[in-house]
A and B are shown apart, each in its own frame.
Chain A
């Protein structure tokens, strides 16, 4: 079972991944293969937030 500290650590990694993905998306505005694949990755990252990051608020 993940403890509170583990959740925070996991959330930190997720936020870092999200930041990288968002930066890549900005760089891919004229690059469909980059832009659209990053959009999908961001949707998957959102699922990590629903499963893990949201727990940091409770």
Chain B
């Protein structure tokens, strides 16, 4: 029975790592030539660095190839061939899909895909869904606004591809989505961690226990929450479901995923992507586990607008162990732990917003929502953390505050001004949350 098969691709996913590396190298050379011959942007970049396709003889040579940053893509767009500019490698008439980045870090970047690229997107997601236990008998509810952002589009196509039944939650509001899940007895769902928690909260306000809805697995994207243990625990308890993480991006593709084993890491799809981890300060390439760096990534098969040595700004570290699931695709430990441009210095200490999330969500008596504001009083940095206390826990405010401060000091090495707010008074987000505000950058 195909449904009993553990791997989407039983050969590639268990391939000896030496062979995976060989495959990656051969594919890298091909995509490099493809871009060199077709994209004026890429050719210009490589000629400036004095690198030709014939120069790539080893992985060491790959590291000499200049990286591409999002800002560079912004610079070439809105020009001919409109609107993608010089990085487009196919005639415009072969482009069948437009998407754009969410614009969280600046002006959105446009992404062109051919139908083959779009098949590839769905293929990347098919690896993810199969590894997370999605099967043809699943009825998958997808509650996102189907629009210009890639979000769960490819998840939708992949669910179809693996043979599951897809229920598009599109323009329905949260209440209507919950009722539809209930009516259709959906078994799985895909959403951002923020929305997974928000939907559970909304269901409770409607008098419906989300645990009774029958959702057995949830795939998250867009935020790191599903790899933050306390947030994952809240989601799993709220829905009585397994919650799985994956990481992807509009310009890259869906490049890593948590499998059913939930071993604490995310598998990189190394048959489709080449991932390098680079020390942010020294530029040194990190091969050993336990040392964090930023991810430089190549999508080995994406053609219309190639992604070659893209500086993703995602922070990760190699995992020391192998996953018991049997996949030989390497793991990154604890998923994507943050973004290089999110990590900021406060009072001289490096602060990652995900560390605050981990603490807030681990404290019993606080709601899922919070907000962090960093400001200056004269020359001194001040951090204000706004949290909501649950209605029936008001009497424990002092104990909760003390525990919160202790844990924050322990995990982030910083002191905070804690503000308690009424339950449901902080902003609720439906897609990607913006809970961290640095007012020093005004």
Interface of A with B (CB < 8 Å)?
1-2, 7, 39-40, 42-44, 46-47, 50-52, 54-55, 57-58
Contacts and interface: CB of A to CB of B under 8 A. Distances in A.
Given A54-B27, A55-B15, 14 more contacts: A2-B11, A39-B115, A42-B116, A43-B114, A43-B115, A43-B118, A44-B119, A47-B119, A47-B120, A47-B123, A50-B123, A50-B272, A54-B271, A57-B22
27 contacts: A1-B14, A2-B10, A2-B11, A40-B115, A43-B114, A43-B115, A43-B118, A43-B119, A44-B119, A46-B116, A47-B123, A50-B120, A50-B123, A50-B271, A50-B272, A50-B301, A51-B12, A54-B23, A54-B26, A55-B11, A57-B22, A57-B23, A57-B26, A58-B15, A58-B19, A58-B22, A58-B23
Contacts of A52: 11
A52 B15 CA distance: 12
Contacts of A47: 119-120, 123
Contacts of A50: 120, 123, 271-272, 301
Nearest to A49: B301
Interface string B1-34: 0000000011110110001101100110000000
A7 B26 contact: no
Contacts of B11: 1-2, 7, 52, 55
Interface in B130-173: none
A43 B116 contact: yes
Closest 9 CB pairs of A and B: A43-B116, A58-B19, A43-B119, A58-B22, A58-B23, A43-B115, A47-B123, A2-B11, A51-B9
A7 B10 CA distance: 12
A43 B301 CA distance: 12
Contacts of A1: 10-11, 14
Contact of A46 (B12, B20, B26, B119): B119
Nearest to B119: A43
A10 to B, nearest CB: 10
Nearest to A36: B115
Interface of A is mostly: helix
Contacts of A44: 119
B409 to A, nearest CB: 49
Nearest to B123: A47
A39 B19 CA distance: 31
Contacts of A43: 114-116, 118-119
Nearest to A50: B301
Nearest to A2: B11
Nearest to B27: A54
Contacts of A54: 23, 26-27, 271
Nearest to B94: A39
Nearest to B127: A51
A1 B301 CA distance: 25
Nearest to A51: B9
B119 to A, nearest CB: 4
Q: Which of B15, B26, B116, B120 counts the most chain A CB atoms within 10 A?
A: B116
B115 A55 contact: no
Nearest to B116: A43
Nearest to B23: A58
Interface in B219-250: none
Interface string B252-268: 00000000000000000
A19 B374 CA distance: 61
B10 A55 contact: no
A54 B120 CA distance: 14
A8 B26 CA distance: 18
